[in-house]
Structure formats: structure tokens, C-alpha cells
Amino acid sequence: MLIKEKKGNIKLVAASDKTIDVVTFEWYETNKRIQRKVTKSGTDISLKFLKDNPLITEGDIFFEDDYSIIIAEVLPCECLVIAPKNMFEMASVCYEIGNKHLPLFFENDEVLVPFEKPLFKLLITLGYSIKQEQRKLLQSLKTTVAPHGNQNETLFSKIMKLTVNNE
């Protein structure tokens, strides 16, 4: 079965008596444009999102007919969970993680990053409170920023100014 676009999200659709079939994704597969997967019931599907950024999210509907719906599920993975105490610590920890060019996720005032032992040791050494947990990485932070205005000022220095002025 060829899927070229998403049909919506199960969270926004009224409950029905249709059979729900699930196709699972690792967190790093959620932004791939082309991939082959097999649903839990064994249906082979090919995803080809050529027009736009796919960004597959939990509950996305790939197929729907009178009897069934095929939806996406993001699998949990081992994560570092950081709950910054204030905005200054939030900016600092995000800077440290971003400096390693790792993806950042945000959920319930916590920063999540896929588990990486060297990063875990670094953040512990820097004094941050960190937990290691199984979590679903669902809300990716957009970390690419186009330069604006004063070219001598970095994004980090702008964030730090904002946090110092607001505390």
C-alpha cells in the first residue's frame, strides 16, 4: 500500500467502530520522507512524502476506509530527562546539548534528549539534575535559526540577555 500523505490525526477524529491498525516508528524515523513499514496486523506500507516535510507524529492517520484506520505510534526510547530550575538553567542546558548537535525534545517543562552516555556524564559534571527514563520523543524543538540583526551577537547571548532581564 502506497501512502503519499497523512489524512489527519486520530486525536481530532470522533471515535468510531473501525479497526485500528498501528505502524510503529522510532523517534529518528519520524522525519524520513521515504520508508517501508509493516503494521502490527502485517500490512506492508510504503511511505512517500515528497511534497512537504513529513514529521510523523503520534496518532497520524495514513489510511482510512469504511472498516479500518492505520495510524502512527512513536515507540519509547531511553532518554535523558532534564527539568531545569529556571530559564537561565533552561538556556544553559539547551546550549550544552545543542553544542553537541543533538536533537532536543520538550515535554511538560522538561528537556528530553535521546540517551548518550558522554552527554549524561557531562551534564552530571556540570551540576544539572538528570534522570534516565524510557519516554516517547514527540515534540521536537526547532533548533535552526536564521541570523538576524547584530551579527556579533549569538543566539545564546540573546537568550541569556532575556533570562537575566526576566529573573
- The CA–CA distances, whole Å, from 86 to 27, 32, 91, 160 equal 27, 34, 9, 12
For 120, other C-beta atoms within 10 Å of its C-beta total 15
Q: How confident is the model at residue 155 (pLDDT cuts 50, 70, 90)?
A: low
The tens digit of pLDDT for each residue in 58-87 reads: 999 999 988 999 999 999 999 999 999 888
Give the residue with greater pLDDT, 167 vs 114. 114
Q: Domain boundaries in the chain?
A: 2-74, 77-166
Residue 146 pLDDT > 70, yes or no? Answer: no
Residue 22 pLDDT > 80, yes or no? Answer: yes
Q: Which pTM was predicted?
A: 0.76
| Percent of the chain with pLDDT strictly greater than 90 | 47
The tens digit of pLDDT for each residue in 88-122 reads: 888 888 888 888 888 889 888 899 999 999 999 99
16-20 long-range contacts, CB within 8 A, separation 24+: 16/69, 18/64, 18/66, 18/67, 18/68, 18/69, 19/67, 19/68, 19/69, 20/68, 20/69, 20/71
pLDDT at res. 132: 94
Write the CATH number of the domain with boundaries 77-166: 3.30.70.790
State the Cα–Cα distance between residues 156 and 94, nearest whole angstrom. Answer: 9
Q: How confident is the model at residue 147 (pLDDT cuts 50, 70, 90)?
A: very low
Which segments of 66-146 are extended strands (E)?
A: 68-74, 77-82, 105-107, 110-114, 130-135
Best-predicted range by mean pLDDT (9-13, 15-19, 39-43, 92-96): 39-43
Write the CATH number of the domain with boundaries 2-74: 2.60.260.20
Give the residue with greater pLDDT, 44 vs 99. 44
